[in-house]
Amino acid sequence: MRDVAIIGVGANPKWGELWGRSLRDIFVEAALAAMDDAGVDRIDSMYVGCMSSGLFAGQEHIGSLLADYLGQRHLPATRIETACASGGVAVKMAALEVASGHADVVLAGGVEKMTDVGGADATYALGTAADAEYECYHGATFPGLYAMIARAHMDRYGTTAEMLAQVAVKNHDNGALNPMAQYPFKITAERVLNSIMIADPLHILDCSPITDGAAAAVLCPLETAKKLTKKQPVKVAGFGQATDAIQLAQREDMTWLESTAQAAARAYEMAGVEAKDIDLFEVHDCFTIAELVVMESLGLVGKGEGGKATLEGRTARDGDIPVNASGGLKSKGHPVGATGVAQVMEVVKQLRGEAGDRQIKDAKRGLTQNMGGSGGSSVVHILEVA
Amino acid sequence: MAGIVGWGCHMPRHRVKVEEIAKVWGADAQAYKKGLNVQEKSVPAPDTDTITLSVTAARRAVARAGVDPAAIGACYVGSESHPYAVKPSGTTVAEVLGATPECRCADFEFACKAGTEAMTVALRLVDAGEVTYALGIGADTSQGAPGDALEYTASAGAAAFLMGADNLVAECEHTYSYMTDTADFWRREYQYYPQHAGRFTGEPAYFKHVLGCAKGILDKAGLKPEDFAYCVFHQPNGKFPATVAKKLGFKKEQWEQGLLCPLLGNTYSGSSPMGLTAILDVVKPGDRILHVSYGSGAGSDGFVFRCTDRIAEVQKLAPQTRELLEGERFYLQYGEYAKFRGKIIMNVKGA
Amino acid sequence: MPSASYTREIPQRYRLEAGKCSSCGKIYYPPRLVCVCGGRDFETVALSDTGKVVTYTIIRVGPSDFVEEVPYGLGIVEVDGGVRLMAQLVDVPLDDIKTGMPVRLEFRKIYQEGEAGIICYGHKAVPA
Ligand SMILES: [Zn+2]
C-alpha cells in the first residue's frame, strides 16, 4: 500500500443559510477550491459524503450529478453515506483508493444542502440516522438522543449544564476567528444557559445549527505529492472506522462512544502514535455533550473528566489538548455530509500554518473524529506534516 | 349459563372541571353541577382513543381471568368513537392480546348501548358453544359540541368483560333488551359532533327505555329490587340513573357504588359497563347485580349477574375502577382540553 | 405506504415480543436473526411491561409527525429482566420525570400518518 497525502483542501467560502445556492453549486465551489489549492485540474476518482440529499433536496445519485457539474463527466464518482460521518468516510475511501494504487488523484468531498426544507422536516431527515422503527417511531430527535446521553453522563459523573455551556463558549471563541463559520461570534455561558430548551438538558445553544455547506480535499500518493503541489503536503498517517449499535438503548454504556474508541484505536495503531502525541483535535461536537464524550472516548481525558477539562481551559486553543480550533460544528456549522471533510480541511490548514488568527502554534500532527447518528458510526483520521 | 370470567376498566388521567367549561361559555357552573350532578369529566390525551382504552381494559380483564389469550374466540368493541370509519377497532385489541388469528371480530355501534350489545353477543357465542371465551368491550372517547350541554359530560373510558362458561366470577342469569326507533340523539356522516333533541331525550327516550328494560328483565327473572346487592344504569349525567333507581325502588346503597358520572362524565358506550366494573370490584360472592344500559336511537340492554365464590380472588388482580377514578388526576384548562380534543383548527400538513 | 412495514412490526409493538437466543440466552428487542454469539435459533418471549427509566429527555422541538405533541417526555426504559427500549414518558408532569422512576408500559397511539392515513400504535411508559 502506498502512503497517501492531502495536497489540496477547500470549501464554499461561507457556510450558513445559502438561500441562493443549490446543492450542486456549493459542492462545485468547494471541489474547485480544493483542486485550485492542490493545483490540479483533473482527478481520477471522486467520493462524496452526503447524508440525505434525498430528504433534504429530493436528489439521490449525486455521484453522477456532481461529477458532471464539476466538469469531470465519466469520472468514477461514488456517494458515501454513514449519516453525519459521511464526509469523514469519504476521505477514508479516497485514501484507500490512492493507497491501493487504483487511482492517483482522488477527490474526497462532502456536501449537505439542508435549508430547502422546513425545521420539522429537517429534524425528521436528521432523525433517520437513528433507528427508524424503534427510536424515530417514538418521536426521538437527535437533540433528544444526545440529551439522553447528557442526562446519563450527568447522572453518572456529575457533569453540569455549565460544563456543557463552556464547550459552546469555547467553540464560538474559536469560530469567531474562522471566516467560513456560520456563526462567527462569541457567546457567554449565561447566554447558552438562558437560551431556549430544545431537549432537556440541551439548550438551543448546545446544538450545532442547520447548515448549507460543502468541503473537499484532494488526495494523491505521498511520493508524487511534491511534484503536484508547491504547498506543504500533509500525510494521512492513520485512519480507523467503527460502528456500534444504532439504537442508544442497546449500547453497553450510554456515556461512552465505543465506535469512537475503536476507530481511534485503529488510527493510533496505524499512525504509531498515542493521543498525547497529537497537537490538535477536530471532533464531532454536534451537541456540546458530544464533544465531552468524544474527548473521553478518544482517550484525551479520563472517563467523566471531559467537562472539568473544558472548564479548566485545557481544550482551548492555548490549552494542552486544543479541541475544535475551527469553531467546531457548533460555530462553523454542521452541513452533515460535509462536516468530516471540513474537519480534515481545518487540520490541513493548521499543519500548513495557514489557520490565521486561530493557528495552533507548532502544530505538526492533528486528529479528526467524525461521527454518525448518536455514535452508531465513527471515523478517525490522523494527519501529520509530511 | 355463561358469565363473566374477568373484567377490566380503564380511563384517562386527565380531567376538566365543569367550572372550566362553563367559564368559556359564560354559563352557570353551579346550575350545571347541580342539574347534572357532575363535577368533572375525563379527557383523553391525543395518544388515547377507543382502541387504546379498550386494550388496557381488556388486558386487565384477561389478567383477572387468568386465561390463555389464544383461547379468546371473539373480540367485540362497542363504541360511537371508533378511530377508523372503516377498519375495526377489535382487530387491534385482539392482536395486542394475542387472540388472533382464530378469533371473530366486528365493531358495534348503537350510541351508548354498543358496549352492552357487544357483551350480549359475547355471552351468547359462549353459550352457543361457538367459542371458549369472548370479549365484550364498551369504550368511547365521546364528543359533545362546544358550548352544548353535552360538553359538560362527554368523556372517555372503557370497560372490558371476558365471557366464558366456566371459572366464572359472575354468572349471567338473564338478559333482556327493549328497543324502539326513537330519534333522540344522532350524528350524520362527516359531522364532528352529535346532535340531540333537548328535553325529548329524557322522558320518551332515556326513561322509557331504561325503565321498560329494567321492569322487563325483573319480570322475566321473577326478581325484585331487594333481591339485588347492586344496580347500575346508563349515566348520561349523575341525575337520571338515580331517578331511575328510585322509581324502580332501589336504595342508595344499591346504586351509588356504580354511579361514576359525577367524577367521570358520560363515557357513552363505556358508561354503565364501567359502573358495573366498579361494582364487581367490591361485590361479595352470591351478590346479584342488575345492569341496564341505554343507547339513543333507542334501546336498553338488561343483565342480571350473580357473583360466584371466585370473584373475591380476582378483585385485586388489576387496578380497581374507583382507584382510577379517584387516583392521581391532571386537571386541564379549557385551552389544553380544546387542544387534546382536536377542537383547534390546525394547518393541514404540507400546506 | 406504511401499511406493510407497520403490519410486520405488530408482534413487537403490540405484544412486546422479543427474541431470546437459544444458545446464550441474550434477549433482543426487537428480535434479530443472529446473535452476537453466532446463535441463529431464537425463542419468542414477551418483555415485562414494568421497569424503570434509565435516562430521559423532554422533547421540545419535535419531528414532523410529532410537532403537535411537544413537549413530551422520551426515555430509555429498562424493563424487568434488563432489556432496554425507547418509549415516551406520559401521564406524568414533565418536572416529575426522574432517572430511576418506576414505570409501566401502556398501549397508546404513537402518531398517525396524517388525518387520513393509518394510526400507529405502540407502548408508552406511565408512572408505575
Ligand atoms: Zn446468543
Ligand 1 centroid – CA C12 distance (Å): 19
Listed in sequence order, the residues at least 6 apart from C110 whose beta carbon sits closer than 8 Å to its beta carbon are A137, A138, A139, B47, C88, C120, C121, C122, C124
Task: Per-residue pLDDT tens, chain A, 386 aa: give them.
Answer: 999 999 999 999 999 999 999 999 999 999 999 999 999 999 999 999 999 999 999 999 999 999 999 999 999 999 999 999 999 999 999 999 999 999 999 999 999 999 999 988 898 899 999 999 999 999 999 999 999 999 999 999 999 999 999 999 999 999 999 999 999 999 999 999 999 999 999 999 999 999 999 999 999 999 999 899 889 999 999 999 999 999 999 999 999 999 999 999 999 999 999 999 999 999 999 999 999 999 999 999 999 999 999 999 999 999 999 999 999 999 999 999 999 999 999 999 999 999 999 999 999 999 999 999 999 999 999 999 99
- Assess whether pLDDT exceeds 60 at residue C1: no
The pLDDT > 90 percentage for chain B reads 97
- Assess whether pLDDT exceeds 70 at residue B350: no
Q: What topology is assigned to B3-340 in CATH?
A: Peroxisomal Thiolase; Chain A, domain 1 (3.40.47)
Residues in B closer than 8 angstroms to C16, CB to CB, are none
Task: Say if C58 is an interface residue toward chain A (CB within 8 Å).
Answer: yes
Domain boundaries of chain B, sorted by first residue: 3-340
Least CA distance to A132: which residue of chain C?
Answer: C5
Distance CA C57, CA C74 (A): 5
Per-residue pLDDT at B198: 92
CA triplet B44, B240, B38: central angle to 5 degrees? 40
Architecture category of domain A129-207+236-385 in CATH = 3-Layer(aba) Sandwich (3.40)
Residues in B closer than 8 angstroms to C15, CB to CB, are 95-96, 98
Least CA distance to B97: which residue of chain C?
Answer: C15
From the candidates A172, A284, A334, A381, which is the catalytic residue?
Answer: A334
**Average pLDDT for chain B:** 97
Tell me which residue in C59, C64, C85 faces A120 most closely, judged by beta carbons.
Answer: C64
3-state SS track over A122-144: HHHHHHCCCCCCCCHHHCCCHHH
Q: What topology is assigned to A4-118+210-234 in CATH?
A: Peroxisomal Thiolase; Chain A, domain 1 (3.40.47)
From the candidates B75, B103, B112, B231, which is the catalytic residue?
Answer: B112
Burial of B84 from C-beta contacts in 10 A (0-12 / 13-18 / 19+): middle
Contact B47 C124 (CB under 8 A): yes
A84 is catalytic: yes
pLDDT category at C91 given cuts 50, 70, 90 is very high
Task: Kindly provide the ipTM of the predicted complex, given to two decimals.
Answer: 0.97
First to last CA, chain A: 17
Per-residue pLDDT at B351: 43
Per-residue pLDDT at B1: 87
Which pLDDT tens digit goes with each residue over C3-61? 899 999 999 999 999 999 999 999 999 999 999 999 999 999 999 999 999 999 999 99
Least CA distance to C95: which residue of chain A?
Answer: A200
Domain boundaries of chain A, sorted by first residue: 4-118+210-234, 129-207+236-385
Listed residues: CB within 5 A of ion ligand 1: C 21, 23-24, 26, 35, 37, 39
- Assess whether pLDDT exceeds 60 at residue B221: yes
Contact B52 C64 (CB under 8 A): no
Lowest mean pLDDT among A103-107, A265-269, B124-128, B144-148: B144-148
- List the subunits that have 3+ CB pairs under 8 angstroms with B: C
CA triplet B306, B309, B311: central angle to 5 degrees? 75
3-state SS track over chain B: CCEEEEEEEECCCEEEEHHHHHHHHCCCHHHHHHHHCCCEEEECCCCCCHHHHHHHHHHHHHHHHCCCHHHEEEEEEECCCCCCCCCCCHHHHHHHHCCCCCCEECCECECECHHHHHHHHHHHHHHCCCCCEEEEEEEEECCCCCCCHHHHCECEEEEEEEEECCCCCEEEEEEEEEECCCCCEECCCCCCCCEECHHHHHHHHHHHHHHHHHHHHHHHHCCCHHHCCEEEECCCCCCHHHHHHHHHCCCHHHHCCCCCHHHHCECHHHHHHHHHHHHHCCCCCCCEEEEECCECCCEEEEEEEEECCCHHHHCCCCCCHHHHHHCCCEECCHHHHHHHCCCCCCCCCCC
- Assess whether pLDDT exceeds 80 at residue B349: no
pTM of the model: 0.96
Helices (H), chain A: 23-38, 53-57, 62-69, 86-100, 119-127, 142-157, 161-175, 189-194, 222-228, 258-271, 288-298, 306-311, 328-332, 336-352
The structural domains of chain C, ordered by start, are 1-47 (no CATH), 48-128 (2.40.50.840)
Contact C86 A247 (CB under 8 A): yes
**Average pLDDT for chain C:** 96
Amino acid of residue B93? V
| Chain A residues touching chain C at CB-CB below 8 Å | 119-121, 123-124, 127, 133-141, 143-144, 147-149, 151-152, 155, 196-202, 247-250, 254
B80 is catalytic: yes
Which pLDDT tens digit goes with each residue over B77-117? 999 999 999 999 999 999 999 999 999 999 999 999 999 99
